[in-house]
Amino acid sequence: MTIRDNLLTLNEFADEMGVTRRTIERWHALRIGPPRIKIGKQVFYRPEAVQQWILANEQEQPRAAGRARA
């Protein structure tokens, strides 16, 4: 077992999120994605950090404006 066994690669993270690798790279450039670890040219994500990022982006559904009254 190595330390990297617990990390997601960029491609694995993209697959998990259902987006392309380019989208993940764009998120990083815009500073809206989860924190990442770069070792040499390889990029990794901690599953715990990804989970925290997802939960931090959770939003309640807004109330519908102008609901019809019965």
Tokens of 64: 């519908």
Q: Is 24 exposed, middle or buried (0-12, 13-18, 19+ CB in 10 A)?
A: buried
| Whether pTM exceeds 0.85 | no
Q: What is residue 45's predicted lDDT score, i.e. its pLDDT?
A: 97
Helix, strand, coil percent content, the chain, rounded in steps of 5: 45, 15, 40
Tokens of 52: 């925290």
Pick the CATH number of 3-56 from 1.10.10, 1.20.1300, 1.10.3470, 1.10.287: 1.10.10
13-45 residue pLDDT tens: 999 999 999 999 999 999 999 999 999 999 999
